[in-house]
Each structure stands twice: as C-alpha cells, then as structure tokens.
Amino acid sequence: MSDAVVDSPAPAEQMYGCDVTYSRGEKVIHVSRANYIATLKKAIDDSFTMCTDLTAVDFLTYASTNRQLPSSVVGERFEMVLNLISLERRERLRLRIQIPEGEASLPTAFDLYPGTEAMEREVFDMFGIEFDGHPDPSRILMPEDWDGHPLRKDFSVGRIPVQFKGAPS
C-alpha cells in the first residue's frame, strides 16, 4: 500500500471477523460492540500486545453522513478508537467501535490491557462513555461534582467573566 492518504469505504478483506479498511497506510478494523472483547483477545493472540491509545470521537452532527465507513457499519454518535501495536511484527492496528448515544458504554479493556485504566477514565470524564467492569470509574480530569462531559459537542462552553486592571467594573 502506498503512503498516500487513503480511506477505503468498501472493505476488501476481514480480520478477526471484522471489516478492514485503510487510513493513511494503516490497517483499521471496524469492531462491533458485541465482539469488542473477543476481538481484543484475538488481537493479543496475534501479537498485538500493546495498547498505545484509547480515545473517543463525538460525531454529533456527522453520525451517519460524511464519514467513510464500510457499508456494513452504521455510524453512531460516538466512536471509540484504539491503537494497538505488535512489537514482534512492528505493526500497528487501529480499532474503531461505533457507540450509540443512548447506550454509551463498553466493557473495560483493563483486564487485557492494564495500561488503558487511565485512558478509559479520561474517555468517561470527557465524553460520558462508561466502561463496564472498570476498577475505578471515577473522574480523572474534572472535579467529582462537575456536571456534564466537556468534549461532547453539545456541552455548553459557558463564560468566565474577566476583570481587566483599570477597566470600569
């Protein structure tokens, strides 16, 4: 595959029973919520033993349009993105999981990838996506009494009044 920026909308192959596309020369698999943990186990068995990143995206206004997904995948408001590495084969693998707004949860990956503990807490804190079975689901960036999730597209930015020196109050 060339180094050109390519997002293939129609998968020509499958990996671990999931549709495969390519983005920027990297393999991307589109995992269903139901097969999330089973797919992670297959990835570990296939030497993808390191999770370098786990984050989310809020596609509030782009849930089903203007996104390049395989035809078999329905775009949802939220998308979880995991980046895995096989040190043995020097390969990267990206997983994309669609998460509906009304059921914003996934099982925790902590038992398989212990390094995801803080990443999952951050995703909960910023996006409100819960991780079933997580050992410490408390907030990590915002105060415990904070209302809402700041990286959701519908979260109000609010206002902080600023008083400048010498300005009339």
Q: Sorting pLDDT into bands at 50, 70 and 90, what band is 63? A: low
In the predicted model, is pLDDT for residue 160 greater than 80?
Answer: no
What CATH number belongs to 13-132? 3.30.460.80
**pTM, two decimal places:** 0.84
For residue 15 the two structure tokens come to 């990996």
pLDDT in tens, 104-143: 999 999 999 999 999 999 999 999 999 999 999 999 999 9
Largest CA distance in the chain: 66
Tokens representing residue 167 in the block:
């300005």
Residue 83 reports pLDDT greater than 80? yes
Cα–Cα distance measured from residue 138 to residue 147, given in angstroms and rounded to the nearest whole number:
13
User: What is the residue whose two structure tokens read 């990443």?
Assistant: 119
DSSP string, the chain: --SS--B-SS--EEETTEEEEEETTEEEEEE-GGGHHHHHHHHHHTT--EEEEEEEEE-TT-SSSS----TT----SEEEEEEEEETTTTEEEEEEEEE-GGG-EEE--TTT-GGGHHHHHHHHHHH--EEET-S--S-SSS-TT--S-TTSTTS---------TTS--
Where are the domains positioned within the chain?
13-132
CA quadruple 132, 120, 33, 127: dihedral, nearest 10: 100
